[in-house]
Structures are given as structure tokens and as C-alpha cells.
A and B are shown apart, each in its own frame.
Chain A
Amino acid sequence: MKTLSRILTRLGRGTIFLARTLAAIPQLFVRFGLVTKQLHSVGVHTLIIIIVAGLFVGMVLALQLHYTLTTFGAEDTLGLLVDLALVRELGPVVAALLFAGRAGSALTAEIGLMKATEQLSGLEMMAVDPIERIIAPRFFAGFLALPLLAAIFSAVGILGGYMVGVDLLGVDAGAFWSQIQDKVDFYDDVLNGIIKSIVFGFIVSWIAVFEGYDCVPTSEGVARATTRTVVNSSLAVLGMDFVLTAIMFN
């Protein structure tokens, strides 16, 4: 009972916090430099891990699927399967998990440390709202970055699948692309995947900035909050993925 009321209190606090953050976003368009700076730390720093991971996931998918498909003589559909798996599922989800581990934890730690070193209080006493100045740009940058990162993950993954499938395993290049262009639907598959990554970007960024803002301002508190960000946002992404998949592709 006590745990439940604590969880609900936190949820309520998180929602009010989110509302204040969202209310501060319109002002960011006037001072987009703040967002650019955060896009650099959230997006650019995550780019390398996303590209490397995407490449390997695509290559492994091609290897595994090729093994199964040859038993049916259906190697020509390799590109199609790699593309669908990446665009609909792995791109948004794996990119979101990597993003939570790389960028989300960094956001929480940064904001938590700013709280622990009284920087957030200091801003308040300078009559600057930390939610407007610190939280909103970080949230918005995370929200913008993840869909781009997920798209990069999928695109690189497809190229990885092409390298293994066509160059290494000898699948016909024409069949690889024609199957994809024939059967992968832009609206049903690609656009739904992008919508997924937009939702994940929202959730992960929200959890990351909230955990930082709400942490106990000690070194232990910041460490705990960082762990919670990775665990909670990973679980939220996987849970939300199930819900979205059920709605989109039933």
C-alpha cells in the first residue's frame, strides 16, 4: 500500500514535471541554440554506437536468415526480411535501448549533478527557471534525436544485410532490392517504425530528465537515478513496443 502510494506520487510528480517541460518547449524555437548544443551531446555522441550496432545487427540478421531461407530455396526474400525486421522492430527498439544507455544515462547524471552542486537552485535564485533553461532543451533534443538515430540504425542495418547477403553469400542484388521495393510498404512499415521511434524518444527523454531532476542530490542519489533511467526506460520501451505493435500491425 505504501509502495503503491509512493509509485503513484512519483508518477504524478513526473506528469506535472512533463507538463511544465512541454509548456516550455515553444520558447525554445526562439533560442534554438540551446537545443543545438544538446543535440550535439545527445545525438552526435550516440551516432557512432548506433552506426556500429546497426551494421552488425544487419549483418547477423542476413547470416541467420540466409541459413533458414536456403532450406526453402527462398534466398531472394532475404533483403525483404532484413528490411522488415529492421524497419518495423529492431531499428526503433534497439536504437532506443542504446540511446537510453548512452544518452539517457548521461542526461540523468548531468542534471542530477547540477542538482547536487546547487546549480539548479542557483538558477532559480537568479530568477531563471531551470525547467525552461536546462530541462526543456535536453528533453526536446532527445525527442528529436532518437527518430533520426533509429532511421540511421535501420538504413545502416540494411546496408549491412546487403553486404553479407549479396557480397558474401551471393544473393542476387536485383532480387534483394526488388523484393524490398515491392513488398515493404512505406506507410504500413516504414512510417509506423518512425512513429514508434518518436514515441520511444519521448519516453526515454522524459524518464531521463525526470530522474535527474527528481534525484536525491548526493553522489549515491545520482548513481541510483542513472541506473533507474536505464532500467526504467528500457522496460518502458519494450512494453510500449508491444502495445504499439499490437495497435499498428494487428
Chain B
Amino acid sequence: MSETLIKIRNLHFSRDHLKIFDGVNMDIRAGSITAVMGPSGTGKTTLLKLIGGQLTPDEGEVIVDGQKVHQLNRAELYQLRKKMGMLFQSGALLTDLNVFDNIAFPLREHTNLSPSLIRSMVLLKLQAVGLSGAHQLMPSELSGGMARRVALARALALDPMMIMYDEPFTGQDPISLGVLVKLIQDTNQALGLTSILVSHDVEETMSIADDVIILSDGKVVVEGSREEIERSGSAYVRQFVHGEADGPVPFHYPGEAIDELLLKAAK
């Protein structure tokens, strides 16, 4: 087993009195692709923001590369973030800059490289995501899949040690979906990155994940390698992996039963 890059211990987090995490523990191996899955609203994006230090937990700790994220001061946190890439669901490209400048942005902010060096680095990153021809386009001219690829190139610009993907497959046509799956796998292998993949697109996620963690009701319900998960007989896994409507995660939002509500309405 390779070493652990991210350790999460006893994580508690709530927002507006709504408990999102209730004692979550997880270990993410360096160099692996770890998929975090779970039904909508289980705080998968929140988890990434907690790892990135954008949110502070109520209790518990997140340790990335040996550093306790929420005990760092601002400068140390920013130093750590330079080693973390994050790919947002929408891409989060800066709308007033073109593709080239978006990818050059972190390099210009954080390094003193010469313009010609920045130019060749940006073009190389764009080449890696297959969009070197699009460097003059504005973000508004890109399709959703292209925007995500550009955002991936930007996240890779500073050569991070890890990268977090927030729902990278949502709303993609089959072709760009295939491209994204391939890109995630290739970058992980070629650059030795640790990847955390938050998604509920089971099929695509399961096809590339080394490890899988399934969250439900603020807790880790299942974790293990992909093979273990596929073999597992857990009801959650069955429901989630096969997309059954009802099961341990109920079809009905918790509340009064329908007959009582109808009875009340009739009165």
C-alpha cells in the first residue's frame, strides 16, 4: 500500500443547523484515483471545500500532505493550495479572460517566469487537454465540456500534487464524457497525481476509480477498492451502483406519511 496523502478524522460539519457530516473518517492514498460517491445533497462538494480549506469544520481535522489544513495561517494555506488543483463543476473560468490568459493566470500570479516560457507552458497544457487550437477563444464561446478541459489545463498549470474534481461528468454528451474520463485517467497516470473524484455518475466513475467511498447521511457507509465494492453485497452499494429507486436511501423524503397528510387535508 502506498502512503496516505489525505487523512480525514472525525469530521463534523453542519450548515444552517443541517448536519452534513457526522463523524467522517477517510484516507486517500497518494497516486490513486479515489471516487467519492453518494446521493445528491450528501455534501460531496462540501467535502472538497473542507479539504481545500474554504470551509472550516465544526469538529475533527483534515490532514493534507502532513499539514492540518484548518490550523494553517493564510499564507501557509495559500502555499498548500498551490499544490492542490480543483476543477469546479462549471469550470469557473474567469469570464473576462480568454482561454490562454485563464491558463496563464496562476502562472502569472505565482511565478516570475518570462512571457515566452509562460506561453510555451500554457500551450503544452492546452495540448495535453487537446485544445491548443482554442487558445484565443473566450470562455463564453466554449461548450461545457471544453470549458472543463480548459479548467483542467488551468488546474494543472502549477503542477499540483493532487487534483479535486467536482462532478466532472454532469451534463456531458457521450463524446466529451469519454474525453473527460480519458483525461482524468491519463493525467493521473502520467503526472502521478492523487485524484479525488466527486460524482454520482456511477458507470464512468467506477471505470477509472482505484478506491471508492460512498457517503450517505453524513457518514461513510462503504469504502474499499473498486474490486471490493463490485463484489460487495451491501444494500447501499447495490442501490447506488445499480440505481434502484428505493432501498436504504428511501425514495420518500422523510416526513409524515401520505395517508396522514391526506387525512389532514380531508378534515
Whether A and B touch (Cβ < 8 Å) is answered with yes
Q: Show the binding face of A for B, using Cβ within 8 Å.
A: 113-114, 117-119, 121-129, 133
Write the chain B residue with the least CB distance to A37: B96
Can you list 25 pairs linking A and B with CB atoms under 8 Å apart? Answer: A114-B94, A117-B90, A117-B92, A117-B95, A118-B88, A118-B89, A118-B92, A119-B93, A119-B94, A121-B49, A121-B54, A122-B86, A122-B94, A122-B151, A124-B52, A125-B84, A125-B85, A126-B81, A126-B106, A127-B79, A127-B81, A127-B82, A127-B106, A127-B109, A128-B105
Per the bound structure, the CA–CA distance linking A119 and B95 in Å amounts to 8
Per the bound structure, the CA–CA distance linking A133 and B90 in Å amounts to 20
A119 touches B92 (CB 8 A): yes
Write the chain A residue with the least CB distance to B78: A127
From A113, A117, A124, A126, contact of B105 by CB (8 A)? A126
List the count of A-B residue pairs having beta carbons below 8 Å apart. Answer: 53
Residue with the greatest number of chain B CB neighbours at <10 A, chosen from A113, A114, A128, A129:
A128
Given A121-B54, A122-B86: A128 touches B92 (CB 8 Å cut-off): no
A125 touches B52 (CB 8 A): yes
> How many Å from the CB of A45 to the closest CB on chain B?
14
B15 at interface by CB-CB < 8 Å:
no
> How many Å from the CB of B18 to the closest CB on chain A?
16
Per the bound structure, the CA–CA distance linking A118 and B95 in Å amounts to 11
B93 touches A125 (CB 8 A): no
B264 at interface by CB-CB < 8 Å:
no
B231 at interface by CB-CB < 8 Å:
no
B86 / chain A contacts, CB cutoff of 8 Å: 122, 125
A125 touches B79 (CB 8 A): no
A121 touches B88 (CB 8 A): yes
B242 at interface by CB-CB < 8 Å:
no
A126 touches B54 (CB 8 A): no
B49 / chain A contacts, CB cutoff of 8 Å: 121
B110 at interface by CB-CB < 8 Å:
yes
B105 / chain A contacts, CB cutoff of 8 Å: 126, 128
Q: Quick one: CB contact mask for B67-104 with A, threshold 8 Å, 1 for yes? A: 00000000000110110111011101111000000000
> How many Å from the CB of A71 to the closest CB on chain B?
56
> How many Å from the CB of A12 to the closest CB on chain B?
18
B82 / chain A contacts, CB cutoff of 8 Å: 126-127
B81 touches A125 (CB 8 A): yes
Per the bound structure, the CA–CA distance linking A66 and B78 in Å amounts to 64
Write the chain B residue with the least CB distance to A126: B106
Per the bound structure, the CA–CA distance linking A129 and B77 in Å amounts to 11
Per the bound structure, the CA–CA distance linking A129 and B110 in Å amounts to 12
Given A117-B90, A118-B88, A118-B89: A124 touches B95 (CB 8 Å cut-off): no
